[in-house]
Structure 1
Amino acid sequence: MTVRNINQSFWSSKQLPYLTVRSTFHSRQSYKQHSHSELSLGLIMQGTTCLSMDGETLILNQASGVFIQPHKVHACNPVRNHPRSYLMLYLDNQWCCDILSALYGYSVDKFVCDIRLVSASKTLALSVLLNELIENERPEQALKVESLLFELICGHCSPQRVEASDTLCATLKKRLLADITNPPSLKDLALELDRSQEGLIRHFKQHFGITPKAFVNNHRIEKAKLLLKSGINIVDVAIEVGFSDQSQLHRAFVNYAACTPRQYQHLTSIFDNNF
């Protein structure tokens, strides 16, 4: 099979200018080692593929998802020449850095994928949303895709800092993001991880440059922005991101975004209508 004969297509949209999607169906095509300048996310829809990267071999089955860092050399090949279908997402690096900058509270210009594999449930959810969006580019569908991509970037990527990877900080970050509406208290995390609360705060800040509390609040505000942009009622947004009421969201939003939730929703609505 030659590349010309592969059943594949590329998709991009003004609604999500940072994203390009390559859809490939029933392909047995092998690829030599290569890299992408963007962050890439592979979603296996059917069949099995073999990913070779960093001297390791990983078998990806249906509903598997995997992040590949920018400029990371890798190869993806069929298993026993069986066909596979997949989506490859190419995400603009600056968009990813902007998300992480907002989340961590300082300028991020490089990042790493400290958790490569994406859960089957999120892989399937994103595949369905993308296929629906490609067929019918509705603004509300684009926002659903953007919201899920935001969650994935926050959960799987971190700023690239001088320090080596840190298992404790990666675990702490994962626990904090597991349920943003009701994250575990530092007291409970300290008991779970057999550390003092002060030690956890200090260790997290040394590694990520931000305290756990500020990290959670930044994530809530960034998620709230996406929900406000989609037109959801401010009271419902507050509950959705873990604030006790609208006034608590209002105070946090002003502190972190320098405007009120209503002002942000109004401004983004004007922008979208003029786009």
Structure 2
Amino acid sequence: MSAVHRVKQAYWFSPRLPQVECRSTWCSSQGYKTHTHTQLSLGLIVAGSTVCHYRGADHLLHAGEMVLIDPHAPHSCTPLPGQTRSYHMFYLDAAWCQALLAEQSGQPVAAIHCQPVRVQDPMLFSDSLQLLNSLARHDINSATPQLNALVSTLLSRYCSAQQPLAEQSTTRYMRQRLLSNLQTSPSLATLAQELHLRRETLVRHFREDTGITPMAFLNNARIEYAKTLIKQGVWLADAGYQSGFSDQSHFHKIFVLHTAATPGQYQQANESSSATITI
């Protein structure tokens, strides 16, 4: 059995509260490959320490502290050598957060930017744990106002509106082509031929604009789509195939690298409508 199978962790998501997805992981030494989320991410360190590589720097986080990650922002997290850490993650729908921030500011919000990465806010930390307790009890009636209050406070204290980052036309074209059909995404050689540029030039442009390589972007998009399919009850083998992975082994490997969890562990949350979270 691989190390990730032995890690105690659980996910929570429900169609009754689609604005949020949660993850809880205990005593894990598993790291993450550089990846992105479409959602605004809020992490709570409850035991141990972890290093988050984000915005070109390493941020050391200890128990009782939180981390904020902008939507679509590349990042990776690893525990200190020889140590484990326990943490909870909230993945907050970006469009919903933008609408709340627009309501607060009285102006349209095209993108969200979190000023700090490392946050020390004991009250917000406590409120987040209370929300997790409500979700663990499947108490949506209590969780809904708690979530609204938590995110409203989070946005007002630590987030601001940001214009979408400008990107080169080659990057925009590559994004569109790579996402147009995840099962038949073009190779880098094909894209280079279509754009009449060298492959090295394409990779450089793409990395400058996104912070990751085209292949990392594609694998991340495939994993996010596979998670969406799993939420809908699609079998794991079918979810992997429809997301563009050639075989189950490759799907499993990339899923673990990007999430530090197996597809089966993620599926368990769906099989019971929501995962059981123990705070």
Q: TM-score range by the shorter chain?
A: 0.5 to 0.7
**TM-score, with length taken from structure 1:** 0.55
| 4+ aligned runs moved over 3 Å, structure 1 | none
In the alignment, which residue of structure 1 is the partner of 2:223? none
Q: Secondary structure at the match of 1:77?
A: strand
Letter in 2 for 1:73: P
Matched-pair contact (CA < 8 Å) for 1:49–1:77: yes
Q: In structure 2, how many angstroms separate the alpha carbons of the residues matched to 1:120 and 1:50?
A: 20
AA matched with 1:22: R
1:3 is matched with 4
State the SS of the aligned residue for 2:38. Answer: coil
Deviations 1:122-178 (A, max 9, x none): 113312331343224141243123211211122211110489xxxxxxxxxxxxxxx
Alpha carbons of structure 1 residues 67 and 91: separation in structure 2 relative to 1, 3 Å? same
Q: 2:156 aligns with which of 151, 154, 163?
A: 154
Matches within 5 A, 1:240-251: none
Task: List aligned pairs for 1:30-49, cutoff 5 A.
Answer: 30-49=31-50
Residue 104 of structure 1 corresponds to 105
Which residue of structure 2 aligns with residue 116 of structure 1? Answer: 117
- Paired with 2:91 and 2:20, the residues of 1 have a C-alpha distance of 6
Native 8 Å contact 1:15 1:139 kept in 2: no
Instruction: Give the equivalent residue in structure 2 for 1:55.
Output: 56
8 A Cα contact 1:15 1:142, kept in partner: no
Aligned partner of 2:136 in structure 1 is 134
Aligned length: 163
Return the index of the structure with the highest Cα Rg. Answer: 1
Q: What TM-score does the superposition give when structure 2 sets the normalisation length?
A: 0.54
Calculate the aligned-residue CA RMSD, in Å: 2.0
Asked which structure has the greater RCO (Cα within 8 Å, sep 6+), the reply is 2
Q: Which residue of structure 1 aligns with residue 87 of structure 2?
A: 86
Following superposition of structure 1 onto structure 2, how do residues 1-275 of structure 1 map, counting pairs within 5 Å? Answer: 1-118=2-119, 119-161=121-163
Partner SS for 2:107: coil
Structure 2, unmatched stretches of 5+, are 166-279
Aligned-partner Cα distance in 2 for 1:94–1:135: 27
Partner of 1:221: none
Shift of 1:21: 0.2
Given that residues 12 and 21 in structure 2 are in contact (C-alpha distance below 8 angstroms), is that contact kept between their aligned partners in structure 1?
yes
CA distance in 1, matches of 2:107, 2:127: 31
Give the whole-Å Cα distance in 2 for the aligned partners of 1:85 and 1:158: 29
What is the DSSP-based 3-state SS (H/G/I as helix, E as strand, rest coil) of the residue aligned with 2:160? strand
Partner amino acid for 1:135? R
What is the percentage of aligned positions where both structures have the same residue? 34
